[in-house]
A and B are shown apart, each in its own frame.
Chain A
Amino acid sequence: MFLQQLLNGLTAGAVYALIALGYTMIYGILGLINFAQGEIYMCGAFVTVLLLGTGQVNFFVAFAAGMAAAALLGVALERVAFRPLRGFHPLVPLISAIGASIFLQSLALLLFGPNDRPFPIQFNFSTITIAGLPLSSLQGAILAAALGFMALLVVFVRYTRYGKAIVACALDRDTARLMGVNVDRMVALTFFIGSALSGAAGIMMAIYYNATYPRMGLLPGLKAFSAAILGGVGSIPGAILGGLLLGVAESLGAAYVSSGYKDAIAFAILILVLLFRPQGILKGRGD
């Protein structure tokens, strides 16, 4: 039971971590919380579900297309909702982000209606028992894919030219420009990558819960925001750690306290962190 809950928590947590990475990377480079991250997650899920619904598209192609659509939406959002507001008081882009979030949710409602859509294809996921622990291969696949995406991101940031340039922009924008780094392009790249990860998270949850709907991004978005704060917003390892911890805490809380409080647990953690360790577990900007 405990191990099963731990595994459930890690699966949800890995998905929160993917979204939290988007929050944290964008915060790192712009000092801005993009509250429309949940809608980007929803966009990824919808594009994949609609493409698969046509019956003509291979699963992996649809998955990649969902991520790409989410990434492009993120880049477009930065262009329209954030870039014109650079240099304003930080509350201004924050309001713009909330506006974008409401707009995208309403647009999805208008286009796709309020109903849940099931995931169009069925997977033959089995449950295997390892050492008395029932492991669903769906959870295993989600966990593996999410960890794989995170590993890719860490490698990108640590070892590639553009990854280092993004970190440089987050640390010291003027000096990065003196090195020949085009900050606008790095901001766009950050939105691209962060949004692609959120899109992937959305698709995985659409499979996991077998439901895609316009408001699906609301709760995971807020929880991932809590996870980013918990880990230390601006820190990439912090977002991963925060996501996993939050997922596990939520799942164990639901099992041992009351499942009715499942969603409250994430936000209780957020409040406690803000009260007692506002810089998060791993403090950081751009590392």
Chain B
Amino acid sequence: MLTLKSVQAGYGRLTVLKGISLHVRPGEVVTLIGGNGAGKSTTLRAISGLLPPARGVVEFNGADLTRLPPERIVALGLALVPEGRRVFASLSVTANLELGAFHRQDQKQVRRDLEEIRERFPLLKERASQAAGTLSGGEQQILAICRALMSRPRLLMLDEPSMGLAPRMVSRVYQILRELKDEGTTLLLIEQNARAALKLADRGYVLETGRIILDGSAAELRDDPEVQRAYLGKGYREVWE
């Protein structure tokens, strides 16, 4: 469904991604884990078109995304929930949701989707006319996810959806992601919270300083001693001794 072949990207002379190859199959939940500055967000920016890759190819359902601007990419069915939620703070909750469907032409269906999403998340109905910036961090994250869903994505990418949230909201967000997974939504998830991500995901890639150093099923990665030590916080004692 989504394929990256030796993608390189960076800012100016600084190359952040030094050749990333990965793929996501339909219905899969794939996670990309790694520390700060490993290039996780940059990978999503490269896929979504915000940071066009310097080299390499990004393909989505047979279409070459490499030179397309973000507004065209979202129309092909690839949505990104950006890092830090980035809701439009002074616009209402409903306006945020409507903007998620901006590229769609089927206004009647958009109305129905809006109703459906409000039924599912009553919060979005109760706060419909409230400015999005007045929601709590967790509520904003739910809004950001729903806004992306309003574009009817075939693949939903999430950049650190648990970042900066209270533990209770982290489990709420992951509960939503699990529901999406059970409905068959394809997800590409980036996390520093590797524990939560590997619990949800089918497969994963481990990113370090712009390169993929490890990939495998989520279970394999969970059991990998290196991943356990570096990202799951296990085995400190063994390291000490």
- Residues on A facing B (Cβ under 8 Å): 161, 164-165, 167-168, 171-172, 174-183, 284, 286-287
Interface segment, one of B74-82, B114-122, B176-184, B188-196: B74-82
Given the interface pairs A180-B71, A180-B74, A180-B151, the reply to whether A175 lies near B102 with Cβ below 8 Å is: no
Q: Give the CA-CA distance A183 to B72 in the complex, in Å.
A: 12
Closest Cβ–Cβ distance, residue A280 to chain B (whole Å): 16
- B89 and A171 contacting across the interface, CB-CB below 8 Å: yes
Interface pairs A-B: 3 shortest CB-CB: A180-B103, A177-B70, A287-B90
Q: Give the CA-CA distance A61 to B100 in the complex, in Å.
A: 38
Q: Give the CA-CA distance A165 to B98 in the complex, in Å.
A: 10
- A286 and B74 contacting across the interface, CB-CB below 8 Å: no
Interface size counted on chain B using CB atoms at 8 A: 25
Is B214 an interface residue, CB under 8 A from the partner?
no
Is B99 an interface residue, CB under 8 A from the partner?
yes
Known contacts A182-B71, A287-B90; 9 additional CB pairs below 8 A are: A164-B91, A165-B99, A172-B86, A172-B88, A174-B70, A180-B104, A181-B99, A183-B71, A284-B90
- B71 and A168 contacting across the interface, CB-CB below 8 Å: no
- A161 and B91 contacting across the interface, CB-CB below 8 Å: no
Contact of A167 among B48, B50, B90, B104 (CB under 8 A): B90
- A168 and B91 contacting across the interface, CB-CB below 8 Å: yes
Most chain A CB atoms below 10 A, which of B71, B80, B98, B100: B71
- B102 and A161 contacting across the interface, CB-CB below 8 Å: yes
Contact of B95 among A164, A177, A284 (CB under 8 A): A164
Closest Cβ–Cβ distance, residue B135 to chain A (whole Å): 15
- B99 and A176 contacting across the interface, CB-CB below 8 Å: yes
Residues of A within 8 A of B48 (CB): 178
Give A176's nearest chain B residue, CB to CB: B99
Is B69 an interface residue, CB under 8 A from the partner?
yes
- A164 and B89 contacting across the interface, CB-CB below 8 Å: no
Residues of B within 8 A of A181 (CB): 71, 99, 102
Closest Cβ–Cβ distance, residue B38 to chain A (whole Å): 21
- B102 and A165 contacting across the interface, CB-CB below 8 Å: yes
Residues of B within 8 A of A286 (CB): 90
Residues of B within 8 A of A176 (CB): 88, 99
Residues of A within 8 A of B89 (CB): 171
Q: Give the CA-CA distance A174 to B44 in the complex, in Å.
A: 13
Q: Give the CA-CA distance A174 to B70 in the complex, in Å.
A: 9
- A164 and B86 contacting across the interface, CB-CB below 8 Å: no
- A167 and B88 contacting across the interface, CB-CB below 8 Å: yes
Q: Give the CA-CA distance A175 to B49 in the complex, in Å.
A: 11
Residues of A within 8 A of B98 (CB): 161, 164
Given the interface pairs A164-B91, A167-B90, A171-B91, the reply to whether A177 lies near B69 with Cβ below 8 Å is: yes
